[in-house]
């Protein structure tokens, strides 16, 4: 964990405390154990978890720098990334993890309980349904997602959940720049505005990563998101 502590500080100015390192260590252990029985993530080694899961999650801080969100919703969180690592470093942030696959949602709840994390909720539901629920629609400072869908689709999942004045963050690989431009029309239709494309690299990872930042400048029309499966089949 010493290398993770050094890299988090050097790359993202994230200063991990002793209790936070202990929490990440427990999270890592549970992920390795559950992956023996369930296919939660393709990354199954310690080095990969620390770099491609933990450090990659910490890269989100580049989007808000010294002003972490009061609330964030993580769409398609999978085994809890980036939402749980961000909750560990920002204990005062309200976090909602959204995952439609039962075994992954169960794992997230298990980790939340094990680590004693507070003010964090795991919801097993599709984003298209959640986006029309009054208690979640246009309620969050930030919506974040990693490796869930193309930007044109992802925008329809996420922007309905972001309050006007809030922002959306999509973690992307090498396709980031192309997706950034292809999604501009869809983002405008949903009340958003492209803000920035941030490139970044992770230690030992050849592929360049990108953070796509979108600001919510107007209300999302009530017809969005469309019914489950429609955004994927017919992107805006």
Tens digits of per-residue pLDDT, 37-94? Answer: 888 888 888 988 999 999 999 999 999 988 999 999 999 999 999 999 999 999 999 9
- Could you tell me if 158 and 143 are in contact, meaning their C-beta atoms sit under 8 angstroms apart? yes
Give 122-163 pLDDT, tens digit per residue. 999 999 999 999 999 999 999 999 978 899 999 999 999 999
The yes/no answer on whether domain 66-233 falls in CATH 2.30.40.10 is: no
At residue 48, the pLDDT reads 87
Residue 203 CA: distances (Å) to CA of 41, 50, 187, 196:
20, 10, 32, 23
- Closest by CA to 200, choosing from 211, 190, 185, 188, is 211
CA–CA distance, 176 with 197 (Å, rounded to integer) = 8
At residue 58, the pLDDT reads 97
**What three-state secondary structure class fits 34?**
helix
Prediction pTM value? 0.95
């Amino acid at each position: 964990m010493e290398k993770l502590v050094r890299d988090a500080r050097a790359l993202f100015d994230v200063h991990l405390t002793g209790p936070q390192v202990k929490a990440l260590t427990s999270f890592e252990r549970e992920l390795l154990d559950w992956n023996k029985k369930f296919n939660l993530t393709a990354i199954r080694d310690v080095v990969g978890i620390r770099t491609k899961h933990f450090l990659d999650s910490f890269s989100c801080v580049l989007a808000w720098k010294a002003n972490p969100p009061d609330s964030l919703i993580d769409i398609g969180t999978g085994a809890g990334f980036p939402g749980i690592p961000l909750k560990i470093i920002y204990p005062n942030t309200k976090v909602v993890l959204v995952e439609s696959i039962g075994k992954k949602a169960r794992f997230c709840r298990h980790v939340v309980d094990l680590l004693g994390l507070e003010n964090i909720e795991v919801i097993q539901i599709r984003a298209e349904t959640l986006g029309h629920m009054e208690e979640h629609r246009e309620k969050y400072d930030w919506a974040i997602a990693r490796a869930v869908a193309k930007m044109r689709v992802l925008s329809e999942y996420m922007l309905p959940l972001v309050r006007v004045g809030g922002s959306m963050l999509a973690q992307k690989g090498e396709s980031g720049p192309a997706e950034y431009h292809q999604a501009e029309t869809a983002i405008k239709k949903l009340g958003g505005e492209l803000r920035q494309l941030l490139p970044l690299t992770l230690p030992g990872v050849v592929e360049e990563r990108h953070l796509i930042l979108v600001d919510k400048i107007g209300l999302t029309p009530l017809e969005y998101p469309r019914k489950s499966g429609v955004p994927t089949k017919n992107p805006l």
